[in-house]
Amino acid sequence: MHVLLTGASGAVGRFVLKRLLDDGYKVTVLGRRPVESFETGFCAYDLADRDPQLPPADALVHCALVHAPGKFRGGEGDDPERFTRLNVDGTRRLFEAAGKAGCRAIVFLSSRAVYGDHRRGETLTEADVPTPDTLYGEVKLAGEQALEALCGQDITGIVLRATGVYGLSPGLADHKWSGLFQEFAAGVPIGPRKATEVHGEDLAAAVALVLEKRGALGAAFQVYNVSDLLLDRRELLSLYAGEVGLSLNAPEASGKIPGEMTTDRLRALGWAPGGRERLKAFVQSLARLNEAGN
**How confident is the model over 204-231, as pLDDT tens digits?**
999 999 999 988 888 899 999 999 999 9
d(C-alpha 61, C-alpha 79), whole Å: 26
Backbone region of residue 13 per phi and psi (left: phi > 0; alpha: psi in -120 to 50; beta: other values): alpha
Pair 258, 231: CB distance under 8 Å: no
Residues 52-66 pLDDT 10s? 999 999 999 999 998
Is the sign of the CA dihedral 93, 94, 99, 100 positive or negative? Answer: positive
Report the pLDDT averaged over residues 265-278.
Answer: 97
pLDDT at 133: 93
156 pairs with which residues across the strands?
Answer: 105
Radius of gyration, CA atoms only, the chain: 19
d(C-alpha 270, C-alpha 277), whole Å: 18
Domains delineated in the chain: 2-170+198-228+261-273 (3.40.50.720)
Residues 16-47 pLDDT 10s? 999 999 999 999 999 999 999 999 999 999 99
pLDDT over threshold 80, residue 75: no
pLDDT at 153: 77
Alpha carbon separation from 249 to 184, 207, 237, 267, 291 (Å, rounded): 9, 38, 9, 36, 22
Residues 92-112 pLDDT 10s? 999 999 999 999 999 999 999
Pair 255, 157: CB distance under 8 Å: no
Nearest to 291 by CA among 245, 247, 257: 245
Backbone region of residue 102 per phi and psi (left: phi > 0; alpha: psi in -120 to 50; beta: other values): left
Non-local (6+) Cβ contacts of 194 within 8 A are: 230, 231, 232, 233, 253, 254, 256, 257, 258
pTM (global) more than 0.85: yes
287 band by pLDDT with thresholds 50, 70 and 90: confident
**Pairing mode, strands 194-199 and 229-232:** antiparallel
pLDDT over threshold 70, residue 292: no
Average per-residue pLDDT for the chain: 94
